[in-house]
Amino acid sequence: MEQRHLGRTGLRVSRIGLGTLTWGRDTDEHDAADMLKTFWEAGGTLVDTADVYGDGEAEYLLGRLMDGLVPRRDLVISTKAGSVPDPERRVDGSRGHLLAALDASLARLGTDHVDLWQIHAFDPGTPLEETLHALDLAVSSGRARYVGVADFCGWQLAKAATWQLAAPGRTPLAGTQLEYSLLQRGAEREVLPAALDLGVGLLPSSPLGRGVLTGKYRHTTPADSRGASEHLAPFVEPYLDDTASHIVDAVTTAADGLAVTPLQVALAWVRDRPGVAAPVVGARNAQQLTAALSVEALSLPDEICRALDDVSAPVHRYPDHDWSTL
């Protein structure tokens, strides 16, 4: 699999990443092992997790698999901290919480460092410089090799990245993670322009529109899908409207014309967008993952990309609209 640099850093990642959101909860150890081995054998390196996935079980499971299935040195492990399962305070970006969370992640993963450590969300209750100082300490102590953020909006990313570039000794942000697909192009409004300008690589989450872009929801909701899951159905439901249906139809038409699958078309589109380093794909089993990894051989023709751009174009208007054309 092709490797790409994450932002303006020396960190190289496979251009498709493996997500572990459901590991330890909906995905058992057998399926996780099959997926990790399949991913590794295909040349995949980037494995994305977080301390809150499965209440820590995703990291614990990944650590066990690295202990005997896939060599740690062959993987780029990315984890996140800052989200907390507390209804009173859903985000904690304090230095104390973040560093304690990192130590707990390392213990679960069974490793002395992670390759990429990301702040999971912006915390308005903590000074940003305190949050970012935790990133510097993680790198200077050797517990993290590179750092980034996740789910930061445009101004938050720009402020954080600029702060890290403003003084010697601070660690530049390598990456930012945000939902991005043909069904959710909000990142293009401010996050992607900021990331491109500041040298931060984008790791799109939910690049298949929470599974909707595969076309499996066109006529019904499969019984074994996330849309039929009690706790994940609300996650899928926003992308089952008429607007999404129109985009899925266009993806399906493109796939038919290219003799490939809608999944391959949707994933190739987001993988090759400017500023994107590696979409992070979550799969239910090795068969699904293999289908996603088959996109490695596909590059979309320019006319297909333009058609998909047009059919999925978000309406931003002011202040993004180019009023000089009116």
Residues 21 and 282: beta-carbon distance below 8 Å: yes
Structure tokens at 197: 């300008």
* 323 — pLDDT class (breaks 50, 70, 90): very low
- Average pLDDT of the chain is 93
User: What per-residue confidence (pLDDT) applies to 244?
Assistant: 92
Helix/strand/coil (H, E, C) string of the chain?
Answer: CCEEECCCCCCEEECCEEECCCECCCECHHHHHHHHHHHHHCCCCEEECCCCHHHHHHHHHHHHHHHHCCCHHHCEEEEEECECCCCCCCECCCHHHHHHHHHHHHHHHCCCCEEEEEECCCCCCCCHHHHHHHHHHHHHCCCEEEEEEECCCHHHHHHHHHHHHCCCCCCCEEEEEEECECCECHHHCCHHHHHHHHCCEEEEECCCCCCHHHCCCCCCCCCCCHHHCCCCHHHHHHHCCHHHHHHHHHHHHHHHHHCCCHHHHHHHHHHCCCCECCCEECCCCHHHHHHHHHHHHCCCCHHHHHHHHHHHCCCCCCCCCCHHHC
Q: Which residue has the higher pLDDT, 90 or 312?
A: 312
User: What per-residue confidence (pLDDT) applies to 221?
Assistant: 66
* 217 — pLDDT class (breaks 50, 70, 90): confident
Say which range, 86-90, 251-255, 294-298, has the weakest mean pLDDT.
86-90
Exposed e or buried b per residue across 234-248, where buried means at least 16 C-beta atoms within 10 angstroms of its C-beta: eebeebbeeebeebb
Q: Give catalytic status of residue 60 as yes or no.
A: no
In eight-state DSSP terms, residue 206 is S
Question: How many angstroms separate the CA atoms of 312 and 297, rounded?
Answer: 24
Say which range, 85-89, 228-232, 256-260, 309-313, has the weakest mean pLDDT.
228-232
Which residues on adjacent β-strands are paired with residue 79? 117
User: What per-residue confidence (pLDDT) applies to 216?
Assistant: 85
User: What per-residue confidence (pLDDT) applies to 234?
Assistant: 78
* 324 — pLDDT class (breaks 50, 70, 90): very low
User: What per-residue confidence (pLDDT) applies to 236?
Assistant: 78
Q: Encode pLDDT of 220-241 as tens digits.
A: 766 666 655 666 677 778 888 8
Whether the predicted pLDDT of 130 surpasses 60: yes
What average pLDDT does range 163-167 have in this prediction?
A: 97
Whether the predicted pLDDT of 126 surpasses 90: yes
pTM of the model: 0.93
Whether the predicted pLDDT of 326 surpasses 50: no
Say which range, 44-53, 125-134, 210-219, has the weakest mean pLDDT.
210-219
Structure tokens at 26: 């909906």
